[in-house]
Structure 1
Amino acid sequence: MTTGLSIHIGLNRVDPDAYGGWAGELGGCENDANAMTTIATARGFSPTTLLNERATSDAVLAALDTVVDRLRAGDILLVTYAGHGGQLPDQDGDEPDARDETWCLYDRELLDDELAERWSRLARGVRCFVLSDSCHSGTITREPLYRQLGRLPEARDFGVPATPVLRGVPDAVQQEVLLQHGRLYRDIRRRTRRVGRDEIGACVLLISGCQDNQQSMDGAANGLFTEKLLQVWNGGGFSGDHARFHHRILDLMPPVQSPNYFVTGAADSAFEAQVPFTVASPESAEPEPVPATRLSVRAPGTVGRFGAPPVFEVEGAYRYRVLEVAVRGELFDWDAHGGERDGANFYATWDDPAVGRFEDDAFTLPAAVWERMRDADRLHYRVGTTSSPSGWADYTVSTRDDDGANAPFVTIADGDRRTTTPRGK
Structure 2
Amino acid sequence: MQLVITGIHQRTTPVALREQLAFADADLPAALQALREQAIEACVLSTCNRVEIYATMEDDADPQALAHFLADWHHVDRATVLPHTTTLVGEAAVQHVFRLAAGLDSMVLGEEQITSQIRSAVQAASDAGALGAHLRRMIDNALTAGKLVRTNTGIARLNLSVVSVAVDLARQRFGTLAGRRVLVVGAGRMAELAIKHLHGIAHVTVANRTAARAEALAQRYGVQSAPYAALPQLLAAHDVAICCTSAPDVVLTAAQVAEAAAHSPQVLLDLAVPRDIDPAAIALENVTLFDVDHMQAICASNREARAAEVSAAEDVVRGEVAKFMDWWATQRIVPTIRALRERAEAIRAAELERTLARLPNLGPSEQAAISALSAAIVNKLLHSPITSLKNPSEADELAHAVQRLFQL
Could you say which structure has the higher strand fraction? 1
**Is the pair's TM-score, using the shorter chain for normalization, greater than 0.5?**
no
Flag the structure with more relative contact order, 1 or 2, with Cα contacts below 8 A and sequence separation at least 6. 1
Greater per-residue helix proportion: 2
TM-score with structure 2 setting the length: 0.24
Higher Cα Rg, which structure: 2
